[in-house]
Amino acid sequence: MSYEHLQDPNAEYTMRDLSAETMGLSRPRSEGRDVEITDVQTAIVDGNYPWTLVRVYTDDGRVGNGEAYWGGAIPEIIERLKPFVVGENPLDIDRLYEHMVQKMSGEGSIAGKDIAAISGVELALHDVAGKILDVPAYQLLGGKYRDEVRTYCDCHTEEEADPDACADEAERVVDDLGYDALKFDLDVPSGHEKDRANRHLRGPEIEHKAEIVEKVTDRVGDKADVAFDCHWAFTAGSAKRLARRLERYDVWWLEDPVPPENHDVQREVTQSTGTPIAVGENVYRTHGQRRLLTEQAADIVAPDVPKVGGMRETAKIATLADMFYVPVAMHNVSSPIGTMASAHVGAAIPNSLALEYHSYELGWWEDLVEEDGLIQDGYMAIPEEPGLGLTLDLDAVEAHLADGETLFDEA
């Protein structure tokens, strides 16, 4: 089967087809809701990550903004998805999401970059659907539990392995920037490594990481909650030893201490310690998160909205998590667009714990949108404007485009 054949949305497929034509959806919609998607475009902004912005255009002039998780080939996959949504009504968010997943099923859409690309389109659909219906995006998810979402600041220092430098930065972020929730990395060099390839932590390495935790938590006291990220770096045995060593400190959570593929090991680590364990940023869709929850392999789940499947998929994960009394702390390394989409999800689910903010050192993060004051004293207010409630500043986007990128073709 040729690639050109795959690009034809009217071609015969063995894959399940959920297009409006195949489903027989021909009844006109009233009150300005008879809208069609005319185009999907992307542009990569060179932020502290290469943010892939996504725009969905419609025949009534409304445009939806979204964002896909960063990484190579995402724009090409979104171009591949375009024939599956052009001509469709953007209000059918759930069907279009499933339609894209089904059409890409032969190319691996259970996980990975396909789902990240689909997530970017899905976020943009929420934005444009909210504009068509004149409601904020959280309303499309069932309404809100809160007016603002707590954000936690992912902190860094030039001396990331120095416990005192980490404590100094924690104090600065709390006292000067107003955050009451922080995260620091623990997968940092200690100077005691013998072999960084085998994932094993020696005793001195564990003590070095415990010293970072002790000094940071002591410095902020009860002024802030502090989590610590391991970036899936350690063996099962090392993760258990580290987690037990940290039980004496006020650790909000220990994130991704082991690689994400083996859920059995993840369950053993989580159930071996009283230190709360958070996982989920590298697990895709509700199906991927299912075993983490049903087998009680996570104390906190951390899906990434522009990566895991989008806003509705994250809300479904939150519903499943809530059945096991597990909170949701959304992973996030996005521009304001993906961050605000995550905040709308956080407003709409009961078990939202916090939303990550990863760009506090980037002075122009907020410049990408016309709105200002997005995060105030560690909290993100949810806009009442239609859709995501943000307006891209196209001049700022153009000023920060990645090399070789061009701005959206507004014509």
The tens digit of pLDDT for each residue in 3-54 reads 444 555 555 445 788 888 888 888 888 888 999 999 999 999 999 999 999 9
- pLDDT of 281-325, one tens digit each? 999 999 999 999 999 999 999 999 999 999 999 999 999 999 999
Number of H helices, E strands in the chain: 15, 13
* 335: amino acid identity, one letter: S
Q: What pLDDT is stored for residue 31 in this prediction?
A: 81
pLDDT at 123 over 80: yes
Q: What phi and psi values does residue 26 have, to the nearest 5 degrees?
A: -120, -5
* Cα angle for residues 50, 51, 57 (degrees, 5° grid): 140
What would the mean pLDDT of 75-93 be, rounded to a whole number? Answer: 96
Structure tokens at 65: 């903004």
Please give the Cα distance from 235 to 279 (Å, whole number).
15
Q: What is the pLDDT of residue 201?
A: 95
- Phi then psi for residue 213, to 5 deg, are -60, -45
Bridge partner residues of 278 (DSSP)? 255, 300
Neighbours of 286 (CB within 10 A): 21
Q: Is 258 helix (H, G, I), strand (E, B) or coil?
A: coil
User: Given this model, what pLDDT does residue 8 score?
Assistant: 55
Q: Residue type for 308, please?
A: V
Parallel/antiparallel/unpaired status of strands 277-279 and 254-255: parallel
Compute CA distances 23 → 14, 20, 49, 90, whole Å: 15, 5, 39, 15
Which are the contacts of 245, defined by CB distance < 8 A and separation ≥ 6? 206, 207, 209, 210
pLDDT interval class at 377 (50, 70, 90): very high
- Distance CA(198)–CA(92), nearest Å, equals 48
| Contacting residues for 409 by C-beta, under 8 A, at least 6 apart | 41
Strands (E), 193-252: 225-229
Whole-number Å distance between alpha carbons of 196 and 190 = 11
What is the per-residue pLDDT across 187-240, written as a single tens digit (0 to 9) for each?
A: 999 988 889 899 999 999 999 999 999 999 999 999 999 999 999 999 999 999
CA end-to-end distance (rounded Å), the chain: 34
Strands 352-357 and 328-330: parallel
Q: Which residue has the higher pLDDT, 124 or 110?
A: 124
- Which residues does residue 54 pair with via DSSP β-bridges, in sequence order? 42, 66
3 state SS of 376: strand
Q: What's the mean per-residue pLDDT of the chain?
A: 94
Q: Which of 116, 135, 125 is nearest to 56 (CA)?
A: 125
- Predicted confidence at residue 191, as pLDDT, reads 87
- Assess contact for 56 and 37: CB atoms under 8 A: yes
Q: Which amino acid is at 52?
A: T
Share of the chain above pLDDT 70, in %: 96
Task: Dump strand ranges (E) for 205-295.
Answer: 225-229, 254-255, 277-279
Triad 337, 343, 347: Cα angle to 5°: 150
pLDDT higher at 323 or 112: 323
Max Cα–Cα distance, the chain, nearest Å: 69
Question: pTM score, two decimals?
Answer: 0.95
Q: How many Å apart are CA 232 and CA 397, to the nearest integer?
A: 33
What's the confidence (pLDDT) of residue 282? Answer: 94
Instruction: Give the CA radius of gyration of the chain.
Output: 22
Residue range 242-276, pLDDT digits in tens: 999 999 999 999 999 999 999 999 999 999 999 99
What is the structure's pLDDT at 12?
45
In this structure, the number of other CB atoms found within 10 A of the CB of residue 46 comes to 12
CA angle 312/368/134 to nearest 5° reads: 45
Could you tell me the domains of the chain?
4-136 (3.30.390.10), 148-383 (3.20.20.120)
The residue-averaged pLDDT of 162-180 equals: 98
